[in-house]
Structure 1
Amino acid sequence: MIDNNQQQKKLSLQLNNGTSFFFENTGPLIRPALNNKCLTLMAAIAACVAPPSVKIAVAAETQAAATIQFDIPAQDLAQALGAFTLQSRLHILYEGAIAQGLRSAPLKGSYRPQEALRRLLIGTQLRADFVDERTVTLARKAASATDADGANAETLPAMRVTAGVVFDPNDPYNTEYTIQNSSTATKTDTPIMETPVNIQVVPRAVMDDQQTIRLQDATKNVSGVQRNFTFGNGYESFTIRGFSSGSNFYRNGVRMFAQSSETAHLNQLEILKGPAAMLFGRVEPGGLVNLVTKKPLDQAYYSLQQQFGSYDFYRTTVDATGPITNDKSLLYRFNLAYLGTNSFRDIVFDDRIFLAPSLTWRLSDATEVNLNFEYKNEDTVDDSGIPAIGNRPASIPLSRFLGEPWENYHVETKLIDFNWTHKFNDHWKFQNGFVWNDLTYNWREHYSTSLQTNNQTLDRSPWLVDSDRESHTVYANLTGDFDTFGLHHKVLLGGDYFSLQADKAQGVDSDPSSTIDIFNPVYGTANLNSLDTMRKNAPNFFYTNNEEWYGVYFQDQIKFLGDKIHILGGGRYDWASASSSYSTVSFANPANTNNEHFSPRVGLLYRPWQWLSLYGNFTESLGSNNSGRSRTGQPFNPQIATQYEAGVKTELFDGRLTSSIAYYYLTKQNVLTPDPVNSQFSVALGEARSQGIEFDMKGQVSDSISLIGTYAYTDARITKSNDNNLGNRLLNVPEHSGSVWGKYDFVNTPLQGLSFGAGVYLASEREGDTANSFQLPGYVRVDAMAAYSMNVMGTKLTTQLNVNNLLDKRYFASSSNSASILPADPLTVIGSVRLEY
């Protein structure tokens, strides 16, 4: 029974099971001409579907300022609102017809009730109006609401979130640019505003808006990150805070070695600035790039996308996920990507197939098991780029390829990731995992070595080598939280084991007669058949490499004074060994190194208000490049790095726009750079120092406007050296770099579904080598996009067009030495059609 009494302003409802609800409102809720319509009271619906043992304390006071853990899958909106009422204890009033035929967005994670309801209503075109902290009315998004009889409802103030929130990054329909939590910096799920380090996240929404195909398409949205020279797209490597990341990146916190990445299965990209050895072992001190992959969902979701564009570019991606069993204890996800494309570089191409099936088995509310498999088969061409003449890249067409037409680089990768977690209770959790990664390489190509004194003839060496590399990682973590003497602790105890075995590789690595004229190239001076015969019968390249380490670590995150003070402290001890050998005659006895090192980290963060955090940290780390090759065949001593950092973080516009600014001072010993005599080898320069300021901003300033802004000042120089490089700048590091990206979505207008975006990316002049003998010119690049989404028979259809380097700016991505400078993409167009349901 619903009793509508305008004077008493009371609502009562009695259910068949005897449960009664009675509410009294002391102020006006809404004033439509009700006639025979009824208001649906969601607390009552929730009571209908709840088991008898569930007691709904509707009279309890809602703690609007506190966060609540929600777990509501995408479903019929009325059912979702019923579940929301159970979990939030809010009273939600709306006309019954307003929710008919609508479907909620999934809601999982810790939210304040106001923000949780806003997230639940994404895509429904409904708004939530809070009458008081316990009572909510729903209405269609409009300046005024009109019922069927023509009476106008009084417009109430829109909901306003007054504190930080946590969004669900796993929601495939999430369009937010802001991610509130990250686990990369601490290996625990911690709000970024409470983490005293610089951690930046590029969410899936940004990747979709910019049609991210390669990792560098995503890292351009983070300050102080530059692409390294990688022979085209042979593997992933970046310069962060002035230092190269080497050939390593991380996948869900586990180290990956020397390979290119597919982005179709990524949920977000997290970049941790500064040394991270305390948690991850041997790692470059500038920072690390961590790929966070998509996980199986308990609600069905399907996506099919076809992309096409310049240089015969075609890419097909599939994303399917959902429950396998009715009780949703067994979930699956399947990602597929096929890429076929030529390049603006002559002869260069890329042909890739990628598969990533995964399963999640929820044995109970406390125990979960995950099994992931990845397979990639790729054929492409390693690209040495173009040489320098004088102090600038040679003035030849960017399309000119200086290898041979028969060149091919084939790589096959396989990965198995098994992990499981068990929650002993609400405070303690154990996690254990194993990752196996196998890579098979087959190179048939040339690389540039040096330009002769006539500034025309380029010397080249063939590279016909087969190699297998296999890595194993095992890890275990115990996390828990507890209180002592007014202090709240979140502790982490863990350990890991990593091994890398590069099987004995042999092939051809020299042929001085192989040259080419860079202004008038004539191909065919190198014969594949004769070189391949030499590779089999008379190889002149032999190489082995093995690494192994054990590490144990601890960490304590302490907060007190009403969560205003946060202290981070911890350390890691590593036992590491490496062996490697290089020979032009036969396999030599490997040289071995054994090292032990303790890497501490401490940080302090003060959060005087919800929107502001002030932080500082000190870190030491053990480096990772001790496996590099020298011309003598001897391995290098381990790197040691030290960093001091201080910064400010903010959350504005109700937590939807985040920003950070940081100053750091970072030193590193035993820096490895290309050997000036032979660039395939490395030399240790002694010590390098990098200091600078970084600014990052991303998020929404309104429902229509999304923004990303970055800036980095980086002063990275050689501070100790026995050669003439003392005081020189490090290669591929611009002193100034930055970007601005903005997108406008038409909301609640006749153009609803239409979006426009544009971005500007810039970098100042960069040194091309450690001798600072030539420079890569600075550049300013402009990108743009347009997209339109519509609903077609219950399916979301999105068409999109991206234009990168809109003004066709000639610039260069990176260099390795004066013989190898990689040109960047000219004007490139990518179109796409995507179906989601």
Structure 2
Amino acid sequence: MKKNYLFTFLLLMVINTFLFAQEGTISGTVKNKNGEPLSYVNVGLEGTSKGTTTTKTGAFQIHKVAQGQYSLAFSMIGYESQKIDIQVVAGETTEVAPIVLTEKEEELAEVIVSDTKAKYVESNVSPSLRQKTEVFKLPQNIQIVGSQLMVDQQVTNIMEGAIRNVSGVTMLEHWGHFARINMRGFRLPALRNGFNVSDAWGPLSEDMSFVDRMEFVKGPAGFMLAAGEPGGFYNVVTKKPVEKPLAQVAVTAGSFDFYRAEADFGGAITENKKLLFRLNGMYQTSDSHRGGEDAKRFMISPALTYNLSEKTSITGELNYQQAESYIGAAYVFGPVSSGYGSVDKNFKMVDTNYPATDIKELTLFADLNHKFNNNWEATLRFSHLKFDQEGNSHWLASMEENGDAIRYANIWDALSVGNYAQGFIQGKANTGNISHSILGGIDYTDKEYWSDWSQNVPYTTPFNIFNPTYGYPAPEFDRSVDLKDRSTSPYDGYITTAYYLQDEIGFLNDKLRLTLAGRYTHVNSKWKEEDDSRFTPRVGVSVNILEDLTAYALYDQSFIPQGGASFDGKPFDPEEAADIEGGLKKTFLDGKLRTSLGVYQITKQNILVGDPENPNFSKQLGEVQSKGFEFDLQGEITRGLNVVLNYANTDVKVTKDTDPENVGKRVAGHAKHVTNGWFTYSFSSQSALKGFGASLGYQYQIDRSTWAWNAENETDLPDYFRLDGGLFWGNEKLRVQFNINNLLNEYLYSGANYGTYLYWQSEPGINGRVRVTYNFK
């Protein structure tokens, strides 16, 4: 009942605060003579101070323009300027016909020189999220981490800090090969190009060389994709074929014998530009700050797009990653009485001959899109994933107060296979003065996961963490039987079929938008006799209080199957949850700076949490509730100064359980307070320091627990603060970048207290990387 009251209150708040704008809006797009969108074109109203620049899709909007006649000017270095006359009507949007700018050949080089400043604002989600509405107008909090931001931070792998750019997102300590990312207190499913590729212990962490952007969707979004986790999900969007020629190479060298080479090529293969391609490749070798963990990583990603006609296109893509990983080598164990960090941050718990695990991952994507007309289109999408792992992991058998540890290694072979299909239709229609943006379709997922943890090799000789002696023989395992026959994970496999329909209804010239959606999900769990199915509704409201201020409210439900089983072999029931939230979105400086502020409450049944008594297993709780609020800011504050700033307050507690003593306890996997910032300044082309720039960023977490609380259900991890920075210089061809991480050389770690022992994973002290990028085109 409280949920209904709260949702009604939010709806009334949004509707009662609705105001009619007394000014109009101007919108349109700018292209070159080849029909390609032009970004960062200056658009201004002559005789006024109003203006903006086009987005990466060539789109622009100028808000709060008084009624009247104007001259609209378009200019960009390297292109001929253009002016048109327009009429603005109060309360309406004036759509400008597509503007085509002609190049000035003698100024082409200067176009690139003037575009060296970072751009951290993304206006629209990728096509894989199926949403045509601008992020600013959606009744949901969606944050986008673009490629430019990841380049500025020198993020080469998703586990290296890409999540710092979104409020409330944290990463739990990990085995070393996949990212365990939490948001709003719950684990986020990992999606690639709109397909949910998550499993219990995967997928392989994405290398950023083939990633175009990362999209973090907060709250349930089962209507949007086949992932109903109430905390949200993150979607990795890979680089796609392009029409304009692209040729770029980059080399990086850094601390701990880090060496890396990347290449990115693209363009039209045929003269008529119907066949386009993209090819990304990467090779990397590196050690860790612990030493003795030399590992190689390789990636190749070819993609082709064939435009059968102006209305129909087909895209095929392959991503292949191969990685060596010292699984479990980052874990350090110690007695509770000694506390966290009782050994040096470069200390290692495994022997010097501890073998690496070999991982191969292949993903295939196929996409067919057909536009019936300007309003309606259909898409068919297919994907296949195969994750193949052969190796071992490391853990603790016992720990004495004097630091004597009995360790063991166990086999960890895994095979994950997923086949996915999506088909959907989306379009626009009107009933009188009411607009409709309609989306409907079907999702199909078939996933299986096999793994073998059964073979253990105990290290019978005690290993003292305060006086370590290395040299125990490397573990050996019997692999004579096929993995599928010796798998100890017989419960990880299910088929999901889901049908959904959404209508985004626009009133009052689309200033007020009502979203109604529903999804029916049927799950055939291969280990259970009975299937599971649910209908999950969704209601959202978004309203333009002002042209640059939007309020939204949302009620959503989620339903997601759970693979795996508890320590006693019982399969997990599906998770169900309800989310209610509301918030405000505000833009400043003609859209160059964007902010969002939201508050939410998620109630979730059958949640999976780590089992404190059996660290390699999970268990289900009765009901958990997550509450909090979030703030995100990104964009350009003033010319040349770009910023990402966020804060989240998260509180997750048990509200129902078979054991009454658990009620009211906090659930591990989050920090109560998380704030991050990243600032980049680029000197203008008129400055004597043109091409130069600097970055500075921080990460700060307070009252945190990453996997488990201590024996008294209280946090015993210290607060976390990390400072990073960078310097760079670039022109139209060359960019040189130097980044330093952990500038304060702090001993940083995450970990958990299991009552009889502690474990933690340390980060390296101060370390750096130099990256040199060269553009041939």
Q: Calculate the TM-score normalised by the size of structure 2.
A: 0.83
Q: Which of 221, 224, 229 is 1:279 aligned to?
A: 224
Larger deviation, residues 671-680 vs 654-663: 671-680
The yes-or-no answer on 1:749 pairing with 2:687 is yes
Distance 1:444 1:89, change over 3 A: closer
Asked if residue 374 in structure 1 is aligned to residue 319 in structure 2, the reply is yes
Aligned match for 1:121, one of 69, 76, 93: 76
Aligned to 1:225: 169
The residue number in structure 2 matching 1:668 is 604
Per-residue displacement from partner, 1:658-712 (whole Å, max 9, x unpaired)? 0001001111111212222221111112221111110000000222110111011
Give the match for residue 14 of structure 2. none
Q: Is the 8 A contact 1:105 1:121 kept in 2?
A: no
Matched with 2:16 is none
Q: Does the 8 Å contact 1:369/1:419 carry over to 2? A: yes
2:209 is equivalent to residue 249 of structure 1: no
Name the structure 1 match of 2:154: 211
Q: 1 CA distance for matches of 2:150 and 2:122? A: 13
> Are 1:729 and 1:767, in contact at CA under 8 Å, matched by a contact in 2?
no
Structure 2: state its 5+ residue gaps. Answer: 1-22, 47-52, 64-71, 88-95, 102-113
Q: For the Cα contact (< 8 Å) 2:683–2:691, is it kept in 1?
A: yes
Q: Which amino acid aligns with 2:559?
A: L
Question: 1:445-464: CA deviations, max 9, x gaps?
Answer: 32235x42425133433221
Deviation at 1:752? 0.9
Instruction: Classify the secondary structure of the residue corresponding to 2:223.
Output: helix
Query: Structure 1 residue 632 and structure 2 residue 568: aligned?
Result: yes
Distance in structure 2 (CA, Å) of the matches to 1:504 and 1:760: 38
Q: What's 1:783 paired with? A: 724
- For structure 1, the 5+ residue unaligned runs are 1-62, 92-103, 139-170, 580-589
Pairwise CA RMSD of aligned residues?
3.4
Q: Residues of 2 paired with 1:377 and 1:824: CA distance?
A: 24
C-alpha contact (below 8 Å) 1:461/1:514 kept by paired residues: no
Question: CA offset at residue 393 of structure 1?
Answer: 1.7
Match of 1:797 in 2: 734
- Greater shift after overlay, 177-186 or 488-497? 177-186
Write out aligned runs for 1:626-705 (5 A): 626-705=562-641
Partner of 1:570: 517
Q: Do the aligned partners of 1:468 and 1:505 also contact (CA within 8 Å) in 2?
A: no
Whole-angstrom distance in 2 between the partners of 1:816 and 1:593: 38
**Deviation sequence 1:696-744 (CA, Å, 0-9, x none):** 0000022211011101111112222344443222223111110121111
Q: Shift of residue 483 of structure 1?
A: 0.5
C-alpha distance in 1 between matches for 2:479 and 2:320: 31
Residue equivalent to 2:507: 560
Deviations 1:416-469, CA, capped at 9 Å, x for gaps: 1011100011111000011001111001332235x4242513343322133321
Shift of 1:184: 7.7
CA deviation map 1:57-79 (0-9, x unaligned)? xxxxxx994323444378999xx
1:356 aligns with 2:294: no
Task: Give the counterpart of 2:387 among 436, 439, 446.
Answer: 439
Q: 3-state SS of the aligned residue for 1:206?
A: helix
- Correspondent of 2:438 among 470, 488, 491: 491
Which one-letter code corresponds to 1:779 in the other structure?
Y
2:367 counterpart residue number:
419
Shift of 1:766: 1.4
Identity %: 26
Distance (whole Å) between structure 1 residues aligned to residue 214 and residue 229 of structure 2: 18
The letter of the residue matching 1:696 is D
Pick one of 710, 717, 725 that aligns with 1:772: 710
Moved more, 782-791 or 496-505: 496-505
Distance 1:173 1:799 in 2: 12
SS at match of 1:756: strand
Structure 1: how far apart are the matches of 2:428 and 2:363? 33
**Structure 2 CA distance for partners of 1:293 and 1:555, relative to 1, 3 Å:** same
Structure 1 residues 349 and 717, CA gap change in structure 2 (3 angstroms): farther
State yes or no: 1:201 paired with 2:149. no
Count of paired positions: 700
**Aligned equivalents of 1:696, 1:574: Cα separation in 2:** 32
CA contact (8 A) 1:72 1:107 kept: no
Distance change in 2, residues 1:824/1:578 (3 Å): farther
What SS does the corresponding residue of 2:224 show, helix, strand or coil? Answer: helix
The aligned residue for residue 152 of structure 1 is: none
**Structure 2 residue corresponding to 1:613, chosen from 538, 544, 550:** 550
Structure with higher RCO (Cα < 8 A, 6+ apart):
2
- Paired residue for 2:418, among 455, 468, 471? 471
Q: Provide the secondary structure at the position in 2 that maps to 1:650.
A: strand
The answer to whether the 8 A contact 1:577-1:594 is kept is yes
Instruction: Return the letter of the residue paired with 2:145.
Output: V
Please identify the structure whose Cα radius of gyration is greater.
1
Cα deviation, residue 244, structure 1:
1.8
Q: Is the Cα contact below 8 Å between 1:285 and 1:623 reproduced in 2?
A: no
Aligned-partner Cα distance in 2 for 1:76–1:621 = 39
Deviation at 1:183, TM superposition (A): 4.5
* CA distance in structure 1 between the partners assigned to 2:392 and 2:335 by the alignment: 27
Question: Equivalent of 2:696, from 753, 758, 768?
Answer: 758
| Match in the other structure for 2:355 | 407
Which residue number corresponds to residue 8 of structure 2?
Answer: none
CA deviation string 1:41-62 (max 9, x = no partner): xxxxxxxxxxxxxxxxxxxxxx
Report deviation, 1:105: 11
2:676 maps to what in 1?
A: 739
Give the match for residue 110 of structure 1. 59
CA distance in 2, matches of 1:533, 1:733: 38
User: Structure 1 residues 776, 488: CA separation in 2 closer, same or farther (over 3 Å shift)?
Assistant: same
- Give the SS at the match of 2:151: helix
- How far is 1:352 from its partner? 0.5
Q: Does the 8 Å contact 2:654/2:664 carry over to 1?
A: yes
Kept in 2: contact 1:789–1:799 (CA 8 A): yes
- What does the per-residue CA deviation read over 1:445-504, in whole Å, with 9 as the maximum and x for residues that have no partner? 32235x424251334332213332110001101001010131111100111110112246
Shift of 1:187: 1.9
Distance (Å, rounded) in 1 between the aligned partners of 2:479 and 2:374: 64
Q: Quote the Cα distance in structure 1 between the aligned partners of 2:656 and 2:334.
A: 27
Tell me, in whole angstroms, the C-alpha distance in 2 between the residues paired with 1:765 and 1:178: 30
Cα distance change of structure 1 residues 249 and 106 upon mapping to structure 2, 3 Å threshold: closer
AA aligned opposite 1:213: T
Per-residue deviation, residues 168-197 of structure 1 (Å, max 9, x unmatched): xxx998831101112589622221111010
Counterpart pick for 2:333 among 387, 397, 411: 387
**CA separation in 2, counterparts of 1:182 and 1:686?**
35
8 Å CA contact 2:116, 2:691 repeated in 1: no
Deviates more, 1:178-187 or 1:300-309: 178-187
**Equivalent residue, structure 2, for 1:522:** 469
Q: Distance in 1 between matches of 2:349 and 2:74?
A: 53
For residues 714 and 458 of structure 1, the distance between their equivalents in structure 2, rounded to whole angstroms, comes to 36
Q: CA deviation at 1:300?
A: 0.1
Kept in 2, the 8 Å contact 1:107–1:120? The answer is no
Q: Tell me the distance in 1 between the aligned counterparts of 2:356 and 2:280.
A: 27
Mapped to 1, the partners of 2:591 and 2:191 lie a distance apart of 28
Report deviation, 1:274: 1.1
The 2-side partners of 1:119 and 1:742 are apart by 29
Conservation of the 8 A alpha-carbon contact between 2:411 and 2:452:
no
Cα distance 1:398–1:287, how it changes in 2: closer, same or farther (>3 A)?
Answer: same
Amino acid at match of 2:380: N
Aligned to 2:590, the other structure's residue is in SS state: coil
Say if 1:76 and 1:380 are closer, same or farther in 2 by CA, change over 3 A. closer
Compared CA separation, residues 73 and 810, structure 1 to 2 (3 A): farther
Alignment partners' CA distance in 2, 1:524 and 1:228:
30
Task: Give the 3 Å change call, closer, same or farther, for CA 344–663 of structure 1 in structure 2.
Answer: same
Note the 1:30-45 alignment, pairs <5 A: none
TM-score computed with the length of structure 1 as normaliser: 0.78
Structure 1 residues 751 and 742, CA gap change in structure 2 (3 angstroms): same
Residue identity opposite 2:150 in structure 1: M
Matched, 1:68 2:28: yes
Change (3 A) 1:685 1:388: farther
Report SS of the residue matched to 2:173: coil
